[in-house]
């Protein structure tokens, strides 16, 4: 009887291990020599496909950091591109945070990636509330949504029940340095933010700094803050398969 209990326990542990959220199996890693600039990520239940990605982008995805938070490593991290296809031990579509442990293991096992973490002072933008704030809390029905609509040299963000952390996440795509949320604002807001990303195409349009201040009552202030950094100790090219 005791042997049956032990066997059942062992099988249960094996099942849990097999379903661990960071288990994965690499199907293929191949150099991409198309010369294309764009990359593509496709996640379906149980599968991740990364097309034309750089090793640097894999490090960003694995640790949820920006390029300026990665230090060290060879030049080819930014220039060489790969197609990576892997299976994952999940029956659902994974979001960015869910995918991080898969990418970290992929780097460790196939690129022999080794690193350590440090905290270093960096220049960032502090997002703060100006006086007065023009944000009006959302009330009543409506689905959560925050959509980005690039149009030529302009960028428009339309929010329904959106929150400030999500706004900051989007703004970081268009900023030359990290934006840190120091507004202290919770809750949900409906708003439209419209600015010119490329002044050469529309010199009369509002910059991001001006648009945030005039349209939302927020401001970006350059400051220095201690920020986490990934320091690369070792990385190798993966063996093709």
Q: pLDDT tens digit string along 19-30?
A: 344 567 778 999
φ, ψ for residue 217 (rounded to 5)?
A: 75, 30
Give the pLDDT band of residue 115 (cuts 50, 70, 90). Answer: very high
Given a cut of 70, is residue 87 above it in pLDDT?
yes
Of the pLDDT bands very low, low, confident and very high (cuts 50, 70, 90), residue 2 is very low
Higher pLDDT, 239 or 15: 239
Q: Which of 74 and 136 is assigned the larger pLDDT? A: 74
pTM of the full structure? 0.65
> Across all residues in the chain, what is the average pLDDT?
84
Q: Is the pLDDT of residue 95 over 90?
A: no
Long-range pairs of 179-184 with CB within 8 A, sequence gap ≥ 24: 179/124, 179/125, 179/126, 179/127, 179/220, 180/124, 180/125, 180/126, 180/127, 180/225, 181/127, 182/126, 182/127, 182/128, 183/127, 183/128, 183/129, 183/218, 184/129
CA pair distance 212, 207, nearest whole angstrom: 9
Boundaries of every domain in the chain = 16-120+228-234, 133-216
């Amino acid at each position: 009887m005791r042997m049956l209990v032990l066997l059942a326990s062992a099988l249960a542990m094996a099942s849990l291990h097999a379903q661990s959220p960071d288990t994965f199996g690499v199907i293929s890693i191949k150099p991409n020599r198309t010369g294309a600039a764009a990359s593509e990520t496709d996640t379906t239940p149980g599968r991740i496909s990364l097309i034309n990605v750089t090793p640097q982008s894999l490090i960003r995805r694995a640790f949820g950091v920006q390029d300026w938070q990665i230090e060290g490593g060879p030049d080819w991290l930014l220039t060489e591109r790969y197609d990576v296809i892997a299976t994952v031990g999940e029956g659902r579509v994974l979001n960015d945070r869910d995918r991080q442990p898969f990418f970290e293991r992929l780097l460790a096992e196939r690129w022999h990636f080794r690193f350590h973490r440090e905290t270093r002072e960096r220049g960032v933008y502090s997002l703060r509330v100006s006086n007065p704030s023009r944000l009006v809390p959302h009330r009543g029905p409506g689905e959560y949504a925050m959509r980005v609509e690039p149009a030529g040299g302009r960028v428009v963000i339309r929010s329904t029940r959106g929150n400030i952390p999500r706004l900051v996440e989007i703004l970081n795509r268009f900023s030359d340095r990290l934006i840190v949320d120091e507004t202290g604002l919770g809750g949900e807001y409906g708003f439209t933010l419209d600015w010119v990303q490329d002044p050469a195409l529309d010199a009369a349009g509002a910059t991001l700094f001006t648009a945030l201040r005039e349209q939302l009552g927020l401001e970006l202030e350059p400051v220095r803050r201690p920020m986490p950094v990934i320091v690369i100790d070792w990385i190798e090219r993966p063996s093709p398969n």
